[in-house]
A and B are shown apart, each in its own frame.
Chain A
Amino acid sequence: MNNLTYRTFKDKLFFYLICTLASLTVVPLFAIIWELIQKGYKQINWSFFTETAPSTLDAMLARSTGDIIPGGIANGILGTLLMVIIAAIIAIPTGILVGIHLSEHPKTKFSNITRFITDLIQGSPSIVIGIIAYTWVVKPLGSYSAFAGSVSLAIMMLPLIVRSTEETLKMLPGSLKEAGLALGASYTSVVLKILLPSAFGGLFTGILLAISRVMGETAPLMLTALGSTAINWDVLEPSSAVPLLIWEFYNDPNLIDMIWSSSLFLLLLVLTLNLIAKRIARKWKIQ
């Protein structure tokens, strides 16, 4: 009897312990979001998306009259979009092809080495990726550029795309491939017209997660894209990016208010991408 009450008590204690610890992790999360919204929402207006980052002088003047800081982060948004798009163009086809290879020939030496390298890249600190892109692209081309930034982001996206492609394709039933081949289809058309479309949900989710993962990367861009105060469409020129701007704002006491709005924007963007990815993953789940 006594034993039973003791066990019930233990169960309860354990339950409350879990609840406490869980809320300990949730509380700071909401606190962060709350703080960002509170301090950042004022800055987010039309010019936030259309104008370049303000100069220290403009910001100082605005602060002295108690106005909100003029200008926006258009140069950063454009830079981020450009670099992420180019990175995606490099990483998606490459990653999917490598993923197909890994799932179709899982046990070859080549596959094992590839898998090891993808793990290695995935585990590398992003600053190291930045250094690699610096030596591969910035040095040979002789200047910092958006393209160099894209290369570093592409390298970071690759392992995620490779692995999600491999995992999704592996989950497809073997009967699908058999059914296609039994109709006289070539191996290529079975992969392109049956396996890839069937794996679409998983691939798309992987791609979105990879994009949202690199969208906030700062370190590799410092060594590659460098930053720019102007809106820049030329991918061979240095370019700004939202996380780079946040870093610059942090270093300038007059611009400190811009940190909150930029961070809020970046957070919402990444969060949205994540939520979409989750939704798609659920909707396209393989039966």
Chain B
Amino acid sequence: MKEEMINIQDPILQLKDVSISYSPGKNAVKNIYADIAKNKITAIMGPSGCGKSTLLRAINRMHELYPDIKIMGEILLDGKNILKMNPMEVRRMAGMVFQRPNPFPTMSIFDNVIAGYKLNGISLSKSEKEEIVERCLTNVGLWNEVKDSLYKKGTFLSGGQQQRLCIARALALKPDVLLMDEPTSALDPIATNRIEELLLDLKQEFTIVIVTHNMSQAARISDYSMFMYLGELVEYDTTQTMFTNPKDKRTNEYLSGQFG
């Protein structure tokens, strides 16, 4: 498995022989090669514990939170190796949405959207702020629901609304890629549905990499799919091929519900 399993034209993100270990001698992610297509949705599937989150979090350097972690290989974003860049810069280029909605509890909806600017000490004029807030909330389909309560706390929203607020917060920094780690697993089916529709709209502007353990979700929204098992990238193909004609026995077993 030395080479990419699928040829992607003009990739925005390239993983070259990426291995990640939390403790010496034990790799949670093993020798992954993959190119990720621009303005597409790429889903990462696999049973729990197979290394999906670990891989995703490497792409925006969230690993720095764990002291002993080691990443080997190269991760190129727009051709630049992010493992050699300043992590703060990387995180602005690769936005992240987490499993549980986590709006900042002390900030209003308005401030949550522009939190990335506030936290980075970037000052904006009042009209710039209003423009960003309206554009991003419109992007996530939340504008009409909250435009009259922009100065209320974000934590008063429903779970699905909170998650869309978190997506808006990530979009506000105009990231090159949007990384999502099971963003709908804490939401009800209706809220999940809304987010899926939203992602299909967002890929006009952004590249999305989404971890999901929900196969039908991957089938519904993604253009490309990866299947990981025990830290390895077992199969990577267009979603259509993966679901209709999987090449690896393990992918087939997973997709037919035999484990995971």
Measuring CB to CB, which residues of chain A are less than 8 angstroms from any residue of chain B? Answer: 173, 175-186, 189-190, 193-194, 197-198, 200, 286-287
Contact = CB atoms under 8 A, between A and B. Distances in A.
Interface string B119-132: 11100000000000
A198 B103 CA distance: 11
Interface string B172-184: 0100000000000
B41 interface: no
Contacts of A185: 88, 116, 119-120
Nearest to A172: B105
Nearest to A186: B88
A185 B62 CA distance: 12
B82 to A, nearest CB: 12
A142 to B, nearest CB: 46
Nearest to A174: B65
Contacts of A287: 105, 155
Contacts, number: 74
Which of A176, A183, A185, A200 has most B Cβ within 10 Å?
A183
A184 B65 contact: no
Interface of B is mostly: helix
A179 B166 contact: yes
A181 B65 contact: yes
Nearest to B86: A184
B116 A183 contact: yes
Interface stretch (B92-100, B142-150, B222-230, B250-258): B92-100
B124 to A, nearest CB: 15
B173 A175 contact: no
Nearest to A183: B116
A182 B95 contact: yes
Given A178-B65, A183-B169, A184-B88, A189 B104 contact: no
Given A173-B102, A178-B62, 12 more contacts: A176-B104, A178-B65, A182-B98, A183-B95, A183-B173, A186-B88, A189-B120, A189-B121, A190-B119, A193-B119, A194-B119, A287-B155
B161 interface: no
Interface residues of B, number: 29
A176 B118 CA distance: 15
Contact of A183 (B64, B89, B92): B92
Which of B102, B103, B120 has most A Cβ within 10 Å?
B102
B192 to A, nearest CB: 19
B106 interface: yes
A182 B104 contact: no
A240 B155 CA distance: 48
Interface string B68-94: 000000000000000000001111100
Contacts of B103: 179
Interface in B213-231: none
B60 interface: yes
Contacts of B155: 287
A176 B120 CA distance: 16
B50 interface: no
A180 B88 CA distance: 11
28 contacts: A173-B102, A175-B98, A175-B100, A175-B102, A176-B102, A176-B105, A179-B104, A179-B166, A180-B104, A180-B115, A181-B65, A181-B91, A182-B62, A182-B96, A183-B91, A183-B92, A183-B95, A184-B119, A184-B120, A185-B119, A186-B88, A186-B119, A189-B119, A193-B118, A198-B104, A198-B105, A198-B106, A287-B155
